[in-house]
Chains A and B, each alone.
Chain A
């Protein structure tokens, strides 16, 4: 039985974290760009809770949810995004290149589809070293059109590698709808070409995600080989910081918002025995954690010359 209250706490944490980032961009505190996963929180939390903390994660450009779902230190993630020395990568990586080896988080990735072979390699190492740990990689519908997706699924299947491929299908790759980018319409059918199980699930319901991921992970850990999990979801926000969202209608967005994964879970919690006071307090504590993290990160210093120019080689 998963800890639904803590799932809820982290889903609120992720959302508040990104809303806070949005404010910070407005204030000019953050540089570059950032890809929010607002609306997709259940995918991150459901899958990651189905795994063990020692299973390795690889993420993509839209990775804040995965990082916080895994329980990375919120202030150190925020610090990394602000380019501060307290960040996980001392400010060198930022949002799209954030790694936390102590949390078995092998990195977010700025190259669409770039993380898929890396995760396949992690799975290779775990099998080679005869562990019972697995690798999990998150990517989008757009990434599933990269050669690396097809090459890696093929290799993983041939070599029976312990890896779960998680496609968060939010219906768009930047502005490009899946109808125009994926010949098969959805991603799961592609699994058949690589002789592995693959199915689509409701990515708005954290329990559905958790159950589907748990089943897949049990199979994979048992030596059954890789699996593809497609999670149907939606990002309520734009692709990145500045996106007027001309490629979709406000009506479509409103319709999707009715299915908000946080609301879905919030409405379910009382039936699981949590009273409204507990739920409110949990959400509040998550928001406070973000506020505190932002405070800590804002106050932290940036690195110096050595942080910029040294450390290219081990």
Chain B
């Protein structure tokens, strides 16, 4: 299997879907010749031209709404929001249109659009360019929210998202873009949108994570192996809906849960997962659930300060030890 950068895997998915389905168009800022702020769409403008790649003015709410309207009439827009923090400007159309229309119009319309955006901190981008805002999106009925953590997922999930008849938000990650991974060499390689993945099987404790935290958790797992502790790393992948079947099965097997995310602690995916475990798996828990997340503060610019706000490998190690010691 060829190894690809995560960003290149996204690029290939876009390329293949543009080639496969003439209804697919890309919409976003500086996604043409420039190739997008993170180079993800590089080369596509040269290949597909302005008929398929629509570079917009800086008008997030309107070009997202435009995608909604176009999607209802059979176009399949893939919108890029340059930094996840900017999704704030598109939120009205996501919340009030994309997520609601199929339901509120009694099933008369479908909104087959994808919105992809890089979340998370890359190191020093500062408060308006660093947040993982998964918590903002999972509370919006009608949106599927997926956060691929590997190159293979990035490609297979984006391709499925583009083919899905619903609005799908794909949260990419700036820290993952330059990471490499094996990706099947197959134009029709897709992955399901609603399944969690056991990234690394184990028996003694489950680390639940997604996006940038998955490779970090796998590294933590490997470190613990030397001490004789075999951790299972479960990658949520889909944040809305949550694949409770896979997640509950892991917890019931290990009896221990540590939940790790790059989003801030309060009111997000980790909180939801804790509540679900408490509701459905209480009898299986051998220790209280421990959560590791970003502190409930904006992400500071200073690298030194940023490190203090975001979850670090040491924080995860401490959380695992705390749970095991209970």
Contact = CB atoms under 8 A, between A and B. Distances in A.
A117 interface: yes
Contacts of A312: 102-103, 141-142
Could you say which interface size class chain B belongs to? 35 or more
A135 to B, nearest CB: 8
A121 B71 CA distance: 8
A122 B68 CA distance: 8
Interface stretch (B59-67, B274-282, B299-307): B59-67
A158 interface: yes
B103 A92 contact: yes
A263 to B, nearest CB: 36
Interface stretch (A9-17, A123-131, A173-181, A275-283): A123-131
B239 interface: no
B108 A100 contact: yes
Given A122-B69, A312-B141, A147 B103 contact: no
B106 interface: yes
B107 interface: yes
Interface stretch (A24-32, A43-51, A149-157, A200-208): A149-157
A121 B61 CA distance: 12
Nearest to A90: B106
A93 B75 contact: no
Contacts of A158: 57
Contacts of A298: none
Contacts, number: 150
Contacts of A88: 105-106, 108
Interface string A93-127: 10001111100001100110010111111111110
B220 interface: no
Contact of B66 (A92, A99, A120, A313): A120
A154 B58 CA distance: 11
A314 interface: yes
A118 B69 contact: yes
Contact of A314 (B56, B106, B110): B110
B108 A101 contact: yes
Given A148-B65, A155-B63, A93 B70 contact: no
Contact of A93 (B64, B71, B105): B105
A89 B100 CA distance: 12
A99 B108 contact: yes
Interface in A21-67: 56, 58
Contacts of B68: 117-118, 121
Contacts of B62: 116-117, 120, 147-148, 151-152, 155
Contacts of B70: 121-122, 124-125, 128
Contacts of A128: 25, 70, 75
Interface in B130-177: 141-142, 144, 165-166
Given A93-B104, A111-B92, A120-B66, A126 B73 contact: yes
A311 interface: yes
A148 B57 CA distance: 12
Contact of A154 (B57, B67, B111): B57
Contacts of A152: 59, 62, 65-66
Contact of B65 (A97, A101, A110, A118): A118
B318 interface: no
Given A151-B63, A158-B57, 8 more contacts: A56-B73, A106-B69, A106-B109, A118-B66, A118-B72, A120-B66, A122-B70, A155-B57
Q: Which 6 residue pairs of A and B lie closest in terms of their CB atoms, listed nearest first?
A: A121-B69, A117-B65, A151-B62, A151-B59, A89-B106, A125-B73
7 contacts: A56-B73, A100-B108, A106-B109, A125-B74, A147-B61, A159-B54, A311-B107
